[in-house]
Amino acid sequence: MENSPTAMAFSVLKTLLTSLFFYADKPLIVFVDKCKHLQFIRCFLVSAFLFFLRLLPSLFPSFNASPFQSYKFCFNSKRGEALCPVADGGGGEPGIARALTQVLSIVTDIPVSSRKYEVVRSLAERLIDDNLLDGNKALQEVNRTVLAAAFCRTLKQLESAVIDHGGSHVVTGTPDGGGSVIDDYYRGLRRVVRAAKFYGDLVRRRLSARDELSRSEVSAEKLAAELLWLVQKMTACGCSEDALRRWSSAQHLARLSLSAEPRLQGALVKVSAFLLDQARQLWKEADEESMKYDELRQTNMNMLVSWLPLLCRASNGTDTPVLSINKRAELERTLELIINTLDEEEQEKVLSLWLQHFTYCPSSDWPNLHDIYTRWCTASRTSLLLLN
Q: How far is CA 293 from CA 77, 287, 305, 335, in A?
A: 38, 6, 19, 18
Backbone angles phi, psi at 85, to 5 degrees: -80, 140
Most confident of 258-272, 289-303, 317-331: 258-272
Question: Tens digit of pLDDT for each residue in 197-231?
Answer: 665 665 555 544 444 444 444 488 999 999 999 99
Q: What is the mean pLDDT of the chain?
A: 75
- How many Å separate Cα 200 from the centre of its chain? 21
Q: Which comes out higher in pLDDT, residue 388 or 233?
A: 233
Q: Could you tell me the pLDDT band of residue 112, with boundaries at 50, 70 and 90? A: confident
Please tell me whether residue 72 adopts helix, strand or coil conformation: strand
Calculate mean pLDDT across residues 326-333. Answer: 93
SS3 224: helix
Q: For residues 205 and 251, give the distance between their C-alpha atoms in angstroms, rounded to a whole number.
A: 19
Omega within 30 of 0 (cis) for the link into 362: no
Distance, in Å, from the CA atom of 64 to the CA atom of 196, rounded to the nearest integer, reads: 52
The alpha-helical segments, DSSP class H, found in 62-109 are: 95-109
3-state secondary structure of 71: strand
Q: Looking at the chain, which runs of residues are DSSP E strands? A: 71-73, 85-87
- Listed in sequence order, the residues at least 6 apart from 175 whose beta carbon sits closer than 8 Å to its beta carbon are 356, 357, 359, 360
Residue predicted with more confidence, 30 or 95: 95
> What is the rounded CA–CA span in Å between residue 184 and residue 187?
5
Considering only 12-26, 131-145, 360-374, which range has the smallest mean pLDDT?
12-26
Residue 291, burial from CB neighbour count under 10 angstroms (0-12, 13-18, 19+): exposed
Q: Which of the residue ranges 29-38, 206-215, 282-291 would you say has the lowest mean pLDDT? A: 206-215
Any bridge partners for residue 87, and if so which?
A: 71
CB 364 within 8 A of CB 305: no
**CA angle, residues 130, 133, 138, in degrees to nearest 5:** 80
pLDDT confidence bin for 285, thresholds 50/70/90: confident
Amino acid at 118: E
What's the pLDDT score for residue 236?
A: 92
Return the domain boundaries, the chain: 1-92, 94-383
Mean pLDDT, residues 66-94 taken together: 44
Q: Give the pLDDT band (50/70/90) at residue 120.
A: very high
Give mean pLDDT, residues 283-287.
Answer: 79
Identify the band that residue 253 occupies on the pLDDT scale cut at 50, 70 and 90. Answer: very high
| Nearest residue to 299 via CA among 240, 236, 223, 233 | 240
CB 10 within 8 A of CB 63: yes
pTM for the model stands at: 0.65
3-state secondary structure of 171: coil
Percentage of residues of the chain with pLDDT beyond 90:
37
Please, how many CA atoms are within 13 Å of residue 349, restricted to the half-sphere of its CB? Answer: 15
Report the C-alpha dihedral over residues 181, 245, 277, 347, rounded to 10 degrees.
Answer: -20
Question: What's the rounded mean pLDDT across residues 60-78?
Answer: 42
Measured distance CA(201)–CA(4) in Å, rounded? 49
Tell me the three state secondary structure of residue 73.
strand
pLDDT band at 273 (very low <50, low <70, confident <90, very high): very high
The percent of residues above 70 in pLDDT, for the chain, comes to 60
- Which is it for the CA torsion 113, 119, 125, 128, positive or negative? negative
Quote the CA–CA distance of 41 and 43 in Å, as a whole number.
6
